[in-house]
Structure 1
Amino acid sequence: MMSVKFDRVAVFGAFKVGAALSLASLISLPASAQTITAVMQSGLRVMDPVVSTAFMTRDHGYMIYDTLLGINEKFEIKPQMAEKWEVSTDQKTYTFILREGLKWHDGAPVTSEDCVASIKRWSEKDSTGQVLMTMVSEIKVVDGKSFQVILKEPTTLLLESLAKLSSRPAFIMPKRIADTPSSEPIKEYVGSGPFKFVDSEFKPGLKVVYEKNKDYVPRSDAASWTAGGKVVNVDRVQWLAMPDQMTPVNALINGEIDYIQQVPFDLLPMLENKSDINVEVLDKLGSWTYFRFNHLHPPFDNKLVRQAAMNAVGQEDVLKTLVGNPKYSRTCPSVFGCDTPYADAYGQDVVVPSNIEKAKELLKEAKYDGTPVVVLHPTDIAMLSAQPVVIASALRKAGFKVDLKTMDWQTVVTQQGNQKPASEGGWNIFSTYSTLATSGDPFGNTTVASNGKKAWAGWPDVPEIEKLRLDFARATDPAERKKITAQIQKLAIDEGVVAPLGQFSVPAAYSKKLTGVLPSPVTLFWNIKKAEK
């Protein structure tokens, strides 16, 4: 395995003055405003949570939008914008009633028309929503505060879809914004959530500012994941992006910032013994990392070539480079995560060890002609920069011709949707990761959707998987659902729909001035209080 090491101290020394100036210019603290300054995993450029599945876009969505339903740490579905829902005796008609006091950030009331338009736009893009809509007969407004979803057949998928955490939560937007075609990004960022987006201070890729929505009426129950009362206790939250990971670590130690969303594993010792800093894994279930093929163009339109690549890349090599500490990582072949209800070991011999000789045999059988493989390599996020390097090294050993294309993560996010061949600016492989809390079934897990160009980036076309996902939505027996997910696991590995690279947990770090930081699979800033000293 190719080893890439960085002297972070030297890097920091070289950029110390410039970084300090950059930090000073980014941090803005209005007089008397209590502000949380957080350094996030990357900069925010893609703002539409329907267009993108990126975590930064999702996290931005949770700041300014709200959802009809939430989900708590016990995986229970709870009402959020909805006061309640009622179900007909035949289990086919769901009536949702909005709670009082819901307002858009521009002061207009939230209506059922807004909800219907938002659900329709979301369902056009989201892999869960697409399946759900095949089971929906009609969505209609009843009055200003209630609407109905009429199903063709009973299914639990409706509530599960509207409460999903990621990657595309069903955020509710004003109808005028939700009427934007799902093929186009929205251009106005007005929600009804606990924070307001401050457009005048937005610096794409560098800084985002949110202020408390004083008109927001939280639920009365305790906050848990995306359910319960979203009580905002500070005036402002500002997100900063700092590609050099040493800069935010030093800024946190010096009290210049309050929160680091993800601490690189090799920098943890700098923070772990600081008396005024908490280092904590907030997502207790952790994440899984994986890579995706572009199924539309050579060479990965050939299943044998995809199998060759999966055999070449070893999980231990990836995890050693990415994490380095077995305390925070483990190998796992399951596309639904290990230690989950739908965990499955099928494909362990393919995706866990690196088998270069097997990969060479498969490439020979596939008659690989040396078509270059473009691997997208984000360099600004510690949790994403190692995987492409290891993948590229393994592929080269197996006989692939590889072009490792460096860029920042937000450029990768915008590039993901490019369906052109690599020779025309497209891509062949990219890697990322997802939270296990949102990946444990065939609908929360975006990667297994396999409906061709309607699928998530990579665009696998495996009709058998789509049929099984629909079967899963109809099934109510846990044993039957387990049988279905085992079949999906086999197809996902055999067809190269997604290639698991192992599991890991990422610590966050924050000043002890902050209290009420919520353990959650998504980064949340409500419930947090900040002491002045």
Structure 2
Amino acid sequence: MRRLFLLVMMLILFSTSFAEALVKRGTEEEFSYSELAGGSITLPVDTTFMFIPGFELSEGDFWVTFAIQDPLFRWASGDELSPCLVEKYELLNSNKSLYIKLREDIFWYDGTPITGADIEYSIRAWKSAENSPVYEALNDPRFGWVSVVDSKTVVFNFNDSYPEFLNSLRTGILAKHIYSDRLGIEPESLEESMKMDKPPIEATSGPFVLDPASVKGNIILKRSPNWHGGSGDGLFPLVFESWPEKSLLDEIRLVEVAEPLDRIEMFKTGELHLLFSESDHNESLLNESASGKFKSGSFPDGTYHIVLMNHRNGLLAERGVRQALKMSIDYESLLKALPDSIGTFIPVDPRTSIFKTLQAQIVDLPYDPDKAKTFLSNAGYPGSITLSIKVYHGVENTLLEELQKSWDKIGVKLEVERLDWGSLLRDIDEGDYELAYLRVEAFEYPEIAPWTNEYEHDLKTGWEVGYVNQQIFRIMRRAAIEPNWSSRTPYYLGSYRIWTNDVPILVLAYDLSYVFWNSQLSGPVPDRGELYENLAEWYLQK
């Protein structure tokens, strides 16, 4: 009788707890709990090592830590953050102070409130760990110290304007009450601790927990029944006003699959729910996606194709010569030699909001071979000239042939020297090149003075191409004290108008990556932060 009574009570509690409809923020579309809960997905990741926030060593690690730890901020774009554990933040004192107030409703898995003491412990741990992704930002000369005002308030104090530090806080934090109070680990010793590979479950705060059955190559994430829920804004419309007791997926499996053809086959048979760019197979996958077999999306991967120009060379020190080289490139033809890329002239991460503003409001030098010839003549080179370009030996001939064809129109002969990676990087570092082709990563935080130095004595290696412009640095310092992006934007526009006209380097294009996912899987949104930053919003349509 007692057992029947308990069963009836459990059914009543279950039905009353989850009867309320969940409303999607922004659309007012309603879902019942049964429509949203449940489901398991399998995703491919690269190798995994360490699942402690602020100590990740691979992208696979970030997939795990962002699932089991709520970050302080999520990345909406490279210059736009969405608060997660944070309720309120403000840059003060000409960006020499950062005020952060944590949400009141956030807890560790064991129910312990998340506090400013956890942030302070985390900062001390990361600052002393050279392998931490946050180490460089914390050891920048501009970083000062962090003060805990009360249990929910901390202030970061900087020695100089340091607005980009905010981007370093896209990470979960460490549970002081576990690592320090229970395990007795000083923050400076945490990196060396044997506890570092997997966190205790009580030290997690995210929508998922790491299943003890997880092994390298097959990581299992289970929904956390103790999750405090997300904090939504207009950038993340799938965040619900009324959170269910459990997150929208019951289980996520992260598996390592080495061979591209194996990943593609597993994706097509439904063993994998998501597939990342496979460079030799993107075209056929996109065709299949267009037929409705699965979904796809493209997004900038944050890398650029560039040609370094060594300004120590007397010819390339002439702005007219650099402008002529730029104005003679036929981008429409060139991009055919750079598949999965989009032409651009601004070396700012295209995932940022400021990139879109710059691209729309700055006029690039036009494609005009005849005018380019005039520029060369005015610079003192009316006849034929020869330049050499150093490239990695694996670079496609089609790209180099396009550059040769473009520059041949203005009387510039391009000679190609192919090198192995070690020799190419050594020659660039030593300044032993005229031109050099590379694909490079963009800065996450928009750079206002890329490939630019303020003074001649700053030119230490060949990576500093030799472009010196003090005016751009004055603009950079002025922009750094502005409190927000809207007031910083005019300075970026002014700086890049100068930079674009001077052509310190040739920016050819930025790369695109593709993501393909199962038609039943909803939530992944390419180009809205990193995919792993919003796993709590993913669900399987039934």
Q: Normalising by structure 1, report the TM-score.
A: 0.59
Instruction: Report the structure number with the largest CA radius of gyration.
Output: 2
Distance 1:394 1:323, change over 3 A: closer
Tell me, in whole angstroms, the C-alpha distance in 2 between the residues paired with 1:238 and 1:526.
15
1:111 shift after superposition: 0.9
Partner of 1:252: 267
Q: Which amino acid aligns with 1:279?
A: S
The correspondence for 1:523, drawn from 493, 506, 531, is 531
Distance 1:237 1:401, change over 3 A: same
The correspondence for 1:69, drawn from 59, 67, 73, is 73
Secondary structure in 2 aligned to 1:272?
Answer: helix
Tell me, in whole angstroms, the C-alpha distance in 1 between the residues paired with 2:48 and 2:390.
28
* Alignment check: 8 A CA contact 1:356 1:394 kept: no
1:259 shift after superposition: 0.8
Partner of 1:214: 224
Q: Which amino acid aligns with 1:340?
A: K
Partner of 2:42: 37
Tell me, in whole angstroms, the C-alpha distance in 2 between the residues paired with 1:318 and 1:50.
40
1:494 shift after superposition: 5.9
Partner of 2:119: 112
Partner of 2:345: 333
The correspondence for 1:444, drawn from 443, 446, 451, is 446
Partner of 1:101: 107
Secondary structure in 1 aligned to 2:479?
Answer: helix
Count of aligned pairs between the two proteins:
446
Q: Which amino acid aligns with 1:96?
A: I
| Identity, % of aligned positions | 13
* Alignment check: 8 A CA contact 2:428 2:436 kept: no
* Alignment check: 8 A CA contact 1:375 1:405 kept: yes
1:51 shift after superposition: 10
Asked if 1:485 corresponds to 2:492, the answer is: yes
Tell me, in whole angstroms, the C-alpha distance in 1 between the residues paired with 2:152 and 2:499.
42
Asked if 1:279 corresponds to 2:300, the answer is: no
Structure 2 regions of 5+ residues with no counterpart?
A: 1-37, 177-184, 406-412
Secondary structure in 2 aligned to 1:233?
Answer: coil
* Alignment check: 8 A CA contact 2:95 2:483 kept: no
Partner of 2:476: 469
Distance 1:530 1:90, change over 3 A: closer
* Alignment check: 8 A CA contact 1:311 1:354 kept: no
Tell me, in whole angstroms, the C-alpha distance in 2 between the residues paired with 1:374 and 1:522.
31
Secondary structure in 2 aligned to 1:236?
Answer: strand
* Alignment check: 8 A CA contact 1:71 1:78 kept: yes
Tell me, in whole angstroms, the C-alpha distance in 2 between the residues paired with 1:178 and 1:315.
52
The correspondence for 1:508, drawn from 511, 515, 531, is 515
1:511 shift after superposition: 1.2
Partner of 1:80: 84
Partner of 1:316: 332
Distance 1:177 1:151, change over 3 A: same
Asked if 1:125 corresponds to 2:136, the answer is: yes
Partner of 2:414: 399
Tell me, in whole angstroms, the C-alpha distance in 2 between the residues paired with 1:422 and 1:252.
46
Q: How does 1:111-510 map to 2 (within 5 A)?
A: 111-117=118-124, 125-126=136-137, 134=142, 138-142=145-149, 146-150=153-157, 158=163, 161-162=165-166, 164=167, 170-172=170-172, 174=174, 179=188, 188=196, 192=204, 194=206, 201-202=215-216, 209=219, 211-212=221-222, 214=224, 217-222=227-232, 224=235, 231=247, 233-240=249-256, 244=260, 247-262=262-277, 265-281=282-298, 283=299, 290-292=304-306, 314-323=330-339, 331-336=343-348, 340-343=356-359, 344-349=361-366, 373-375=390-392, 390-394=398-402, 398-403=413-418, 405=420, 421=430, 429-432=437-440, 443-445=445-447, 448=450, 450=452, 458=463, 462=468, 464=470, 465-475=472-482, 481-493=488-500, 499-502=506-509, 506-510=513-517
Structure 1 regions of 5+ residues with no counterpart?
A: 1-32, 378-386
1:356 shift after superposition: 10
Report the RMSD for the aligned CA atoms in angstroms.
Answer: 6.1
* Alignment check: 8 A CA contact 1:36 1:258 kept: yes
1:274 shift after superposition: 4.8
Tell me, in whole angstroms, the C-alpha distance in 2 between the residues paired with 1:119 and 1:341.
34
Distance 1:393 1:482, change over 3 A: same
1:266 shift after superposition: 1.6
Q: Normalising by structure 2, report the TM-score.
A: 0.58
Tell me, in whole angstroms, the C-alpha distance in 2 between the residues paired with 1:119 and 1:295.
37
Distance 1:287 1:90, change over 3 A: closer
Distance 1:363 1:514, change over 3 A: farther
